[in-house]
Chains A and B, each alone.
Chain A
Amino acid sequence: MLRAAITWPVGLFLCALGLSANAEWGINMRRGVTDVSQSVFDLHMTIFWICVVIGVVVFGVMFWSMLMHRKSADSKPATFHEHVGVEILWTVIPLVILIVMAVPATKTLIDIYDADEADVDILVTGYQWRWQYQYVGEGVSFFSTLTTPRDEITNVSAKSPDYLLEVDNPLVIPVGKKVRFLVTASDVIHSWWVPDFAVKKDAIPGFINEAWTRVEEPGIYRGQCTELCGKDHGFMPVVVQVLPQDEYDTWLAEQKEAAAKEAELRDKTWTLDELVERGEKVYTTACASCHQPNGEGLPPMFPALKGSQIATEDMAAHLDIVLNGKPGTAMAAFGKQLSEVDIAAVITYERNAWGNDTGEMLSPIDVLKAKEGQ
């Protein structure tokens, strides 16, 4: 009966482990898609089983005592209260187990700290509250921002499977190649984590950290920021798309062209309605989390734009604050994060939405001129 009391829970637990395939009731770490992530998984399982065995033995003795050595079972208490030999044994045996465990752990750590040459170098910068990815030496750089609609967050519409784990521009890397991540931050400490790669590195303002991965399987891999960084710490996911080499090369070439395309877009003539339509999308991605979808903000930290002086009267001040931010506050310099087209669009939107109705519009060329100090 006692044996059953032990084997049933352990057996059920072991079965439950097998259920990890089902994501909703998943209970274990993933194996991941890199050699490092598999080594880490193996370390995790090894130390886990060591703990299970020790636990079964120790708790087994306890449950045995609780059953067989109860006073109500007429147990007479023994008087022994020391035994040097057994104390030495249960000091030395755990020590040996730990030394044995430390060997593979050390080896995996040495692998992780490998500083060999990489094929791709990516500067990962944490901002409040999005990531920026820059392909060093390629002239490609972009921001990666959460795109989950606010309606899903506020429970107005149903949540998609990638709720809070979807972005506009994922990081794209080639499969089978060593990719190095140079991780830093522009404001507070963030942390960049992709569970499937077993890569987690803190992003520290003013300092550069290094991590690397070599992904063996194409696919889309999702992670999150893992260091409290303020209000939207839970809303700045990491999404990495791993492509076969040829598709990666195509993508990279397209990115380089995109810079040229942006210039075309900037130079064309826009209508008010076109800017407002684009501006609403930009606002939703870049501004709404602080200034709210209804423009009312969360004063005093996040001022209202609806009916505000800056969005209805002083156009120059409006442009300046969007481009250059406001030091000492959470308002970032979006001139560095958004294209001229997007800045023109979002300012035009803000000046015409929520009843602001100024009828004014700003062209991307005007934004460019302001950026160049004219």
Chain B
Amino acid sequence: MSAVIDTHHHDHAHGPAKGLMRWVLTTNHKDIGSMYLWFSFAMFLLGGSMAMVIRAELFQPGLQLVQPEFFNQMTTTHGLIMVFGAVMPAFVGLANWMIPLMIGAPDMALPRMNNFSFWLLPMAFGLLVSTLFMEGGGPNFGWTFYAPLSTTYAPPSVTFFIFAIHLAGISSIMGAINIIATILNLRAPGMTLMKMPLFVWTWLITAFLLIAVMPVLAGVVTMMLMDIHFGTSFFNAAGGGDPVMFQHIFWFFGHPEVYIMILPAFGAVSQIIPAFSRKPLFGYTSMVYATAAIAFLSFIVWAHHMFTVGIPITGELFFMYATMLIAVPTGVKVFNWVSTMFRGALTFEAPMLFAVAFVILFTIGGFSGLMLAIAPADFQYHDTYFVVAHFHYVLVPGAIFGIFASAYYWLPKWTGHMYDETLAKTHFWMSFIGMNLAFFPMHFVGLAGMPRRIPDYNVMFANFNMISSVGAFMFGVTQLLFLFIVIKCIKGGTKAAANPWEGAEGLEWTVPSPAPYHTFTTPPEVK
């Protein structure tokens, strides 16, 4: 009996439905993957526009373009949109497209829930963006929304912000359930766990992280809602509550969240580097264990975001040691990537350029993270641009370059055409230069004393801020080139073979390019 999960009527068995309703009702993992990817890219451009507003205001000292109240809304929504609207949905899109192909499954385990998971997102972000136009403005308390700034002192739109977070959270949780069920139950016979591609492994672990911590985020925003509307005092000292408890609960979610945003990139890069080195990944087993170690450790380091709130010394020492410890498995992964390249036969097409830049620049971000872990030194770094530099180094050349690398790597599979390699390399170099110009100087202004989340600054920070802004504009404009490259690739280009990459391995390369609407209706044989 065939292993097809046949959720649509047999009259449509020839292929996808026609028209707009195809996209509204589809349960096909490739369609849903594409929708997630397009949505995340739109959010990336939207969040990026907010960054442009921020960097335009910070181009020079003084208030030129926007008032501080609006500036705070820009920094807040830039963070929320990038974290919840761009990075996370992009990885879910990649998961949707590639996990069934990589494990030889015909689709995700729960295709209808998959559709619902996606459509929650435009609802959530439509709601979030609409708050900018409400009376009192949108959320202005930072993407970390500490109480009581986000409760007692929040604008009226905060209730809609909370609702939007709930919607996005439910979407993530359902997506994670789907991914775990798919990976555990739908692998082709012969594909044991230790034969799975690393992208599948990292997504399995990421999905468990999501299951564990997204409900805690839901809990903390529900507590906010209760404080704001139902007279409770979770975070209100007047009623016996504690604003610091907000930070503990938030960061219990927040720290695993940042690993949720990077582990899938680790997995993708772990497939791309071997392909373009024409050499197997070095240390597959330890890569799996290192990822699991990072995920486990991510639960016990949260208070390194809170070194200045007045935690007693035992607590500070514990969190300092645990945070330093995470450097060990992360270092193992970096050494393994480098060892994969070493004595390979390297070519540098766009996926490899982004993957190599990932390893170098993410590691630099990791170094600043290690510096931040040293609690007494953190007293000088905390809430300055040094932190902004750190997390942009791990998120932009980390998560975002990981997504670009994956996109270029799998575009031939998705579209059936090779993308324009010259344009792609241009996109890479402009992104690389723009990103470094934008974020490297932030280390300096942070060390020199510039705090975060300020619309104006003393003249001693002016030179580097101007450079940062120029880099940011360059990086931003370049993403429009990426849009052009993707559209051009969809519309045409050199025909792509089933496996266009000489060193690539994996079940996804055994199906034709573009991948047919239904694949692996019969499970493949895995040796």
B263 CB to closest chain A CB, in angstroms? 19
Across the interface, which residues of B come within 8 angstroms of A300, CB to CB? 135-136
Q: What residue in chain A is nearest B371 (Cβ atoms)? A: A47
Contact status B141-A205, CB under 8 Å = no
Across the interface, which residues of B come within 8 angstroms of A70, CB to CB? 345-348
Q: How far is the CA of A275 from the CA of B62 in the complex (A)?
A: 31
Out of B62, B141, B153, B444, which one reaches A27, CB within 8 Å?
B444
Across the interface, which residues of A come within 8 angstroms of B443, CB to CB? 27
A45 CB to closest chain B CB, in angstroms? 10
B153 CB to closest chain A CB, in angstroms? 5
Out of A54, A163, A165, A228, which one reaches B149, CB within 8 Å?
A228
B420 within 8 A of A: no
A359 within 8 A of B: no
A24 within 8 A of B: yes
Across the interface, which residues of A come within 8 angstroms of B142, CB to CB? 228
Q: How large is the interface on B (under 10, 10 to 19, 20 to 34, 35 or more residues)?
A: 35 or more
Q: What residue in chain A is nearest B244 (Cβ atoms)? A: A204
Contact status B455-A71, CB under 8 Å = no
Interface-facing stretch out of B41-49, B175-183, B327-335: B327-335
Out of A40, A105, A106, A191, which one reaches B383, CB within 8 Å?
A191
Contact status B279-A189, CB under 8 Å = no
Identify the interface centre among A82, A165, A199, A201: most chain B CB within 10 Å of its CB.
A82
A325 CB to closest chain B CB, in angstroms? 14
Contact status A43-B377, CB under 8 Å = yes
A6 within 8 A of B: no
Given the contacts A44-B371, A200-B308, A65 and B346 also touching, CB distance less than 8 Å: yes
Q: How far is the CA of A110 from the CA of B314 in the complex (A)?
A: 10
A232 within 8 A of B: yes
Contact status A205-B320, CB under 8 Å = no
A114 CB to closest chain B CB, in angstroms? 10
Q: Which 4 A-B pairs have the closest CB atoms?
A: A206-B237, A234-B454, A51-B367, A81-B280
User: Which B residues are closer than 8 A to A by beta carbons?
Assistant: 61-64, 67-69, 72, 135-136, 140-142, 146, 148-149, 152-153, 237-238, 242-244, 277-286, 308-310, 313, 316-317, 320-321, 324-325, 327-328, 331-332, 334-335, 338-348, 356, 359-360, 363-364, 367, 370-371, 374-377, 379-380, 382-384, 443-444, 447-449, 451-460, 462-464, 503
- Apart from A54-B367, A81-B340, list 8 A-B contacts with CB within 8 A: A77-B278, A79-B279, A81-B279, A91-B332, A101-B374, A102-B321, A155-B63, A207-B244
User: Which A residues are closer than 8 A to B by beta carbons?
Assistant: 23-30, 36, 39-40, 43-44, 47-48, 51, 54-55, 58-59, 61-62, 65-66, 69-72, 75-83, 86-87, 90-91, 94-95, 98, 101-102, 105-106, 108-110, 112-113, 152-155, 159, 161-165, 187-189, 191, 193, 195, 198-202, 204-207, 209-210, 223-235, 298, 300-301, 330
- For this complex, 16 residue pairs linking A to B, each with C-beta atoms less than 8 Å apart, are A25-B464, A44-B371, A55-B363, A71-B345, A75-B345, A77-B277, A77-B278, A95-B328, A153-B62, A159-B61, A191-B383, A223-B449, A226-B382, A228-B453, A233-B72, A301-B136
